[in-house]
Amino acid sequence: MEFLLQPLTLLTFFPLVGVLVILLMNEEQKVAIRWTALVASLMTFGISLWVLQSFYAAESVTGAAGALHLEAKYAWITVAGWNIYYYLAVDGLSILLVLLTAFLSPISLLSTWTAVEDRVKEFMIFFLLLEVGMMGVFLAQDLFLFYVFWEFTLVPMYFLIGIWGGPRRMYAAVKFFLYTMAGSILMLVAILFLGIKTDTFNVPTMLARLPDLYATGAIDPRAQMLLFIAFAAAFAIKVPMWPLHSWLPDAHVEAPTAGSVILAGVLLKMGTYGFLRFNIQLFPSATIAAAPWIALLATIGIIYGAAVSYAQQDVKKLVAYSSVSHLGFVMLGMFALNAQGVAGAILQMINHGLSTGALFLLIGMIYEQTHTRDIKVYGGLWKITPVFGTIMLIASLSSMGLPGLNGFVGEFTILLGAFGSKAIGSPWYAGISAAGVIMAAVYILYMFQKVFLGPAGEITHHHELKDLNVRELITVVPLVVFMFWIGLYPAPFFNLIAPAVEKILSALPL
C-alpha cells in the first residue's frame, strides 16, 4: 500500500486505472469510454497539482532547493549481480514537463471527442498507456527504469499513428518506430557500459561515482565522448535535431490530432530532457567539448526548419517543420551551458508544447470540417469563424515569439544565454539564430494571411463552416491562458527551474 500511495507512483500509474475500467467496457459504449479516459487523465492532472504543492513544500526546506524530491525508491532487481531500483523522483528540471504532460493529456483527449469515431476503446487505452510512459520517462531516476519507459512510449504512439492516422499512416508509424529505436539501441549499450563500470543503474549514485572513474582514467576522455554520442543519438533523433529530423514531418502529418499534440508537446521534449538529465550531468567534459558542435547543428536546424516551413503547402507540415526550428532554439540554449540559456531552454520546452500543441489542435478542428489542410484552398476564414481566427492568431503569435506572449520570453532568454556563452565560444551562433525568429514571423504570418485573410478561397466558399463550439473552446482556452501568463509574468516558472539549473551547472568544469 505504501508503495502505491507515493505521490509519484500514483501520478505515473494512475492512467492505468482508466485502462482497466475501459477494458471492462463494451466497444459500443463510446461516450462512456471517452468520459472514463477523460476523467482518468483529469484525475492524473489533479495528482500532478498535488505533486506540485508537495514539490513547493520540499523546495522550501533550507538547503534542499534544486535537489531531487518526493523520492519513491524500492529495490527492484537486486539479485545475480543486478542493481536495479524502482526509483522515481522529481526536481526543477522535470517538474514543469511533468505538469505539461498531465495538462496536455486531458486536452488532447477532449480534442478526440468527435474526431475519433472508429475503435474508440483501443484509442483510449493506447492513449492512457502513452501517458504512463511519458510520466515515467520524466520521473525515472534509474537508467534501466528510464530505458523501459523510454522504449515503452514507442509502442502506444506507434499504434496511435498507425491506426488512426492519415493516408500514409503505416509508413509514418513504422518510420517513427524504427528511427526512434535506432537511437535508443545505442543508448542501451551505453547504459549497460555505464552500469557495469559504476556497478549501479541508479542515476544519483552513478553521478557520485563517475568523477572518480573519470579522474583515474577508468573511463578515458575518448570513452566519455563515445558514451556522450551514444546517449545523444537517442535524444537527438527524438528532439529531432537536424539532420535526424526526417521522421518528424511524416509522423506529425499522418498522426491524428491528439497524437500530433502529444508528439509535439511532450514526446519531443523527452529528447531535450534526456540531454539535460543525462548527457550534461553524466558526461561533463564531453558536454563542454561537444557544445560548439551541438550549437552548430542547432543553428542549422533553426534556419533550415524555418526555411522549409515557408515552402509548405500543408498547414500541418508547416507547423511540423517549425518544430524543428523551435527545438533548435531549445538545444542552443541548453548547450550555452549558462543559467540563462538552460533556464530559457526548459521554459521554451513548455512554450513549444503550449503553442505548437494549440496550433495542432486548431488545425485539427478545421480539418475535421473540411478534410483538407492545403493552404491554397483556404482564405478569408476569419470573417466566417472569428473566434477560431482570433485564437489561431494568438497561438501563431505565441509561436513566432511576439513580446507579451510566452514564446518571446523563452527565445529571448535563450539568445541572451547563447550570446554570452563561454561553452559555445562564439556569439555568431546566437546572431544567426536570431534570424530564425524573423523567419518564423515570415512563415507563420504567411500562413495566417493565406488562410484567414484575403478573399474567400475554394473551401471557405463552398463549406458551411462552423466556428468553435463550447467543447473546442474548453480545449484551447487553457492553453491560451498559459501563453499570456508565461508571456507577462514568467517569474513563478523561472523560480521553479532556477535552483536545479544552478546545481547542474555548478557541477560542470567550466
Partner 1 sequence: MTQPTFTDYYSILPFTILIAWACLLLLVDLFIPKDRKSVTASIAALGLAVTLGYGVSQFGKSVTGFSGMVVLDGFSTFASVLVLVSGLFGVILAYGYARRMNIQRGEYYTLLLFSVAGMMLMAQAADLIIVFLALELLSIPLYVLAAYSRNLESEEAGVKYFLLGAFATGFVVYGSALVFGATGTTSLTGIFFAASNGTPSLLLSIGAALILVGFGFKVAAAPFHMWTPDVYQGAPTSVTAFMAAGAKIAGFAALLRVFSVAFPTLSADMTNILWVLSVLTMIVGNFVALSQTNIKRMLAYSSIAHAGYILMAFVPYGNKDVIASSVAAGLFYLMTYVLTNFGAWAVVISLEKAEGKGLEITDYAGLAKKYPTLAAAMTIFMLSFIGLPPTLGLVGKFYLFRSAVSGGFIGLALIGVFTSLVSAYYYLRVVVQMYMKEGDPVIEREPGLAFTTTLTSVVIVVMSFVPQWLFLLASQAVLK
Residues engaged in binding partner 1 (CB under 8 A): 76-82, 119, 122, 144, 148-149, 151-152, 154-155, 158-159, 162-163, 169-170, 173-174, 177-178, 181-182, 185-186, 188-189, 192-193, 195-196
Pick the closer one to partner 1 by CB: 128 or 163.
163
Query: Least CB distance from residue 219 to partner 1, whole Å?
Result: 13
| C-alpha dihedral (293, 296, 300, 306), degrees to nearest 10 | 120
Query: Least CB distance from residue 166 to partner 1, whole Å?
Result: 12
Pick the closer one to partner 1 by CB: 45 or 144.
144
Pick the closer one to partner 1 by CB: 136 or 457.
136
Query: Least CB distance from residue 251 to partner 1, whole Å?
Result: 15
Q: CB-side exposure of 91: number of CA atoms within 13 Å?
A: 19
Query: What is the rounded distance in angstroms from the CA atom of residue 262 to the CA atom of residue 268?
Result: 9
Pick the closer one to partner 1 by CB: 185 or 508.
185
Residue type, 67: A
Joined together, the cell numbers standing for residue 402 give 511576439
Query: Least CB distance from residue 403 to partner 1, whole Å?
Result: 44
Query: Least CB distance from residue 425 to partner 1, whole Å?
Result: 32
Pick the closer one to partner 1 by CB: 59 or 151.
151
Contact of 505 with 342, CB cutoff 8 Å: yes
Pick the closer one to partner 1 by CB: 169 or 316.
169
Following DSSP, what letter does each residue of 216-284 receive, concatenated? HTSS-HHHHHHHHHHHHHHHHHHTTPTTS-THHHHHHHHS-HHHHHHIIIIIHHHHHHHIIIIIHHH-H
Pick the closer one to partner 1 by CB: 37 or 188.
188
For residue 400, the tally of other CB atoms under 10 A from its CB is: 25
Instruction: Find the angle CA(64)-CA(138)-CA(486) to the nearest 5 degrees.
Output: 75
Omega of the bond leading into 284 within 30 degrees of 0 (cis): no
Query: Least CB distance from residue 37 to partner 1, whole Å?
Result: 17
SS3 478: helix
Query: Least CB distance from residue 233 to partner 1, whole Å?
Result: 11
Contact of 158 with 176, CB cutoff 8 Å: yes
Query: Least CB distance from residue 103 to partner 1, whole Å?
Result: 25
Pick the closer one to partner 1 by CB: 184 or 356.
184
Query: What is the rounded distance in angstroms from the CA atom of residue 321 to the CA atom of residue 305?
Result: 5
Following DSSP, what letter does each residue of 447-472 receive, concatenated? HHHHHHSSS--HHHHHS------HHH
SS3 374: strand
